[in-house]
Amino acid sequence: MDRVYRHYNKSTAPLLLREDFAGSCAIASAWVAMDEEHQAMAIESHGPTVRWAQRDADRELGDRVNDLHIVQADVMAVDGPRVDVTCALNFSTFIYHDRASLKQYFKAARRGLRRDGLLVIDAYGGPGAMRVGTQTRPVPADISPDPAHKTSPAIPGFTYHWEQRAFDPVTHRTECRIHFELEGGKRIDSAFIYRWRLWTLPELMEIMLEAGFKRVEAWCDRFDSDAGTSDGVYRITQKMPAREDWVAYIIGAK
């Protein structure tokens, strides 16, 4: 987000971040940790999650914790302060199932930006996103914690299951779930449940423009289909080759 903001604003550094649908507030916390001049606001509506996030921020940020402001509220209800970048990631805008609601959110997000501010959202798609089934991935125990969070404990190994349980081609509504298998055979089924509308990139970009953003662009990586690997670099993308699955960012410039 720092790199993208500098791209649109002639290398000016962004200082204030707002994380909508913040959950654990990990992005806002990392933003504060990466620079002493950074401040962030994280908005999350679920009380137990907010309390967990505050405890985690207290531990991770130490004397910088006052630069992270966690607010329990609906994202539509928070008017200020205005920020340089607002992000709504983990496909959070997919919770809106109709154009009117999504446009209302984009308008609210735009109002919360400074004059040269950016809204950053993400989206996923491709034929694989519409296919019912489960993808399984083992996660080894020696994962390094986020370098921004120096006190993060070691993470034990586990198996991650991403289940696409249902998809309706008429409404583009999808139900996805995350399950975990832990060491010792313990399972956590349906740890996360998502009931989303699978918006397409053109729909998201068009609605963002209708909401008043003056410039809207998709950023995506380059994928080597033969090697099955991404270059990991997201850049402005005018045209994307057909891929089984993809993840992209959409940037809205106020």
- pLDDT 10s digits, 154-173: 778 999 999 999 999 999 99
In this structure, the dihedral spanned by the alpha carbons of residues 171, 206, 119 and 201, taken in order and rounded to 10 degrees, is 50
Q: Which pLDDT score, from 0 to 100, does residue 227 have?
A: 73
Q: Which pLDDT score, from 0 to 100, does residue 26 have?
A: 96
Contact 86, 93 (CB under 8 A): no
Q: Tell me which residue of 24, 72, 78, 19 sits closest to 45, measured CA to CA.
A: 72
Alpha-carbon distances of 228 from 222, 225, 231, 243, rounded to whole Å: 11, 5, 10, 11
Q: Which pLDDT score, from 0 to 100, does residue 150 have?
A: 55
Q: In CATH, which superfamily holds the domain spanning 2-126+198-253? A: Vaccinia Virus protein VP39 (3.40.50.150)
Q: Where does CATH 3.40.50.150 sit in the chain?
A: 2-126+198-253
Note the pTM of the prediction, 2 decimals.
0.90
List, for the chain, all residue ranges whose pLDDT scores fall below the cut of 70: 142-153, 226
Q: Which pLDDT score, from 0 to 100, does residue 224 have?
A: 77
